[in-house]
Amino acid sequence: MKILVLNAGSSSIKYSLFAMNDRRVLLNGILERIGESIAIHRYHVQDAEPVNLEIPLANHQQALQTLFSTLADSGAIRNGELACIGHRVVHGGELFKQPAVITAEVIEQIAGVIPLAPLHNPANLQGIKESMRLMGNVPQVAVFDTAFHQTLPDYAYRYPLPADLYIDHGVRRYGFHGTSHGYVAKQAADFLGKPLTELNLITLHLGNGASACAIENGRSVDTSMGMTPLEGLMMGTRCGDIDPALHFYLSRSVGLSLEAIETLLNKQSGCKGVCGENDMRILHDMADAGDQTAKLALSMYAYRLKKYIGAYVAVLGRVDAIVFTGGIGENDSRLRRQCCEGLSALGIVIDPDQNQAPDQTCSAIHSTDSTVKILVINTQEELEIAVQAETCLDALR
């Protein structure tokens, strides 16, 4: 069985084709700069040289036509071989607690959630609509970033705000990166040889965006991102938790417009705001060369992360494992060490040697006297979307 996973953004579409029998990637690629005069199509067919093309792509329709032609021309799928298309959808609101087979009604429901994710859902939806138009004969499934966190209890997801804002306007915490948190939790359970339903985990997805998740008996009970992906940890360009009254100050005293504040907090803050860079590799190089702003940004990042680890130990009571994942979580040994430093009282002790070079897919980096296991797991969100799409279709058969 072959499943295609699509992640449609406003100007790019990422895709991966999986052979589900052995979960191999047969072909993956990205169509970028859709709508600009010259777009780029980069793809890689398994066991072949990567391809990099400059082509005109006026819109998502042309981009998807190109994608489906590539799948056919490369021989990656032959007639009737594509069993399903899985679509990443950022926001499912409270409606979607599970993946959903795409129907006209589901499309309408995803559109209904657009006010909650105005930057992401419209592009996801555009990808879905075009894909349904071009490949309507293939079953298609929407997999939501928010769904994994729909198990949060009300005292964790509600904001201390007037109730009608929640009831009438959906103002609450939703959480994101759910596909990744859910995937690494399952991998951790496999690695530890225990049922997920018996495990308490703290999963840390640290990429350009970053979030922490408290998982109790396999279910998400708290997570650091909120109504939007701006809340929580300090990130590459997003501020994470700040005093909400800052907005008034930025408006009244600094004279920034609402739009300027939105851009500032989402795109010019976090590591970039503190030291001018948001790639952790560059931050470390700068810090090694003596740059004080980069040192400060790294200390702030680790400190804020450590506070969430402490908070989630309190939430869970017993923690079986902490899982690091995402580009930073998987690769940045110094940051892992820094945010676990001084946590031996909580039973969290890293092994410096194991931490240095963890295995590519899953490995343990805790010391023998650590009561909490510390794991580094390579997240595979696209594969997880394919697996969830397959499971969703199987349930209907």
Give the number of C-alpha atoms closer than 13 A to the C-alpha of residue 195, restricted to the C-beta side: 3
36 annotated to a ligand binding site: no
Q: How far is the CB of 324 from ligand ADP (least distance, A)?
A: 11
Residue (157 or 174) nearer to ligand ADP, CB = 174
* CB atoms closer than 10 angstroms to residue 21: 8
Residue 329 annotated as part of some ligand binding site: yes
- Taking the C-alpha atoms of residue 132 and residue 104, their distance in angstroms, rounded to an integer, is 10
In the complex, minimum distance from the CB of residue 48 to ligand ADP, in angstroms, rounded to a whole number? 23
- Annotated ligand binding at 14? The verdict is yes
Question: Near ligand ADP by CB under 6 A, which window of 150-158, 201-209, 289-297, 307-315?
Answer: 201-209
Q: Are 127 and 85 in contact (CB under 8 A)?
A: no
Binding segment for ligand ADP (CB under 6 A), chosen from 106-114, 254-262, 325-333, 348-356, is 325-333
Piece of 203-211, 336-344, 345-353, 368-376 that binds ligand ADP (CB under 6 A): 203-211
The piece of 17-25, 86-94, 113-121, 276-284 that touches ligand ADP (CB under 6 A) is: 276-284
Q: Closer to ligand ADP at the Cβ: 66 or 180?
A: 180
Nearest to 241 by CA among 276, 212, 220, 277: 212
Three-class HEC string of the chain? CEEEEEEECCCCEEEEEEECCCCEEEEEEEEECCCCCCEEEEEEECCCCCEEEEECCCCHHHHHHHHHHHHHHCCCCCCCCEEEEEEEECCCCCCCCCCEECCHHHHHHHHHCHHHCCCCHHHHHHHHHHHHHHHCCCCEEEEECCHHHHHCCHHHHCCCCCHHHHHHHCCCCCCCCHHHHHHHHHHHHHHHCCCHHHCCEEEEEECCCEEEEEEECCEEEEECCCCCCCCCCCCCCCCCCCCCCHHHHHHHCCCCCHHHHHHHHHHCCHHHHHHCCCCHHHHHHHHHCCCHHHHHHHHHHHHHHHHHHHHHHHHHCCCCEEEEEHHHHHHCHHHHHHHHCCCHHHCCCECHHHHHCCCCCEEECECCCCCCEEEEECCCHHHHHHHHHHHHHHHHC
Out of 127, 226, 326, 358, name the contact with ligand ADP by CB under 6 A: 326
145 is catalytic: yes
Of 31 and 100, nearer to ligand ADP (C-beta) is 31
Give the range of 16-24, 159-167, 277-285, 344-352 binding ligand ADP by CB under 6 A.
Answer: 277-285
Residues 204-233, one symbol each (x = binds ligand ADP by CB under 6 A, - = not), give ---xxx------------------------
CB-wise, 332 or 384, nearer to ligand ADP?
A: 332
The answer to whether 59 is a known ligand-binding residue is no
Q: Is 206 annotated as a binding residue?
A: yes
Q: Is 205 annotated as a binding residue?
A: yes
Q: Does 279 bind ligand ADP (CB under 6 A)?
A: yes
Q: How far apart (Å, rounded) are the C-alpha atoms in residues 103 and 140?
A: 9
Is residue 142 involved in binding ligand ADP (CB under 6 A)?
no
Q: Are 39 and 33 in contact (CB under 8 A)?
A: yes
- The tokens describing 1, both together, are 């069985």
Please pick, from the candidates 281, 318, 357, 371, the single residue that binds ligand ADP as defined by CB under 6 A: 281
User: By C-beta, is 116 or 271 nearer to ligand ADP?
Assistant: 271
- Which one of 286, 328, 377, 389 is in contact with ligand ADP (CB under 6 A)? 328
Residues in region 331-370 near ligand ADP by CB under 6 A: 331-332
- Least distance in Å: CB of 361 to ligand ADP? 15
**How many residues bind ligand ADP, per CB under 6 A?**
12
By CB under 6 A, residue 170 contacts ligand ADP: no
* 7 annotated to bind ligand: yes
The answer to whether the beta carbons of residues 157 and 174 sit under 8 Å apart is yes
If the CB atoms of residues 172 and 272 are measured against ligand ADP, the closer one turns out to be 272
- According to CB under 6 A, which one of 141, 225, 280, 348 is a site residue for ligand ADP? 280
Closest CA to 233 of 304, 299, 176: 304
- Nearer to ligand ADP by Cβ, of 32 and 279: the residue is 279
- Annotation: binding site for Mg(2+): 7, 381
Catalytic center residues: 145
- Annotation: binding site for ATP: 14, 205-209, 279-281, 327-331
- Annotation: binding site for substrate: 88
The residues of the shown chain that bind ligand ADP, judged by CB under 6 A, are 207-209, 236, 279-281, 326-328, 331-332
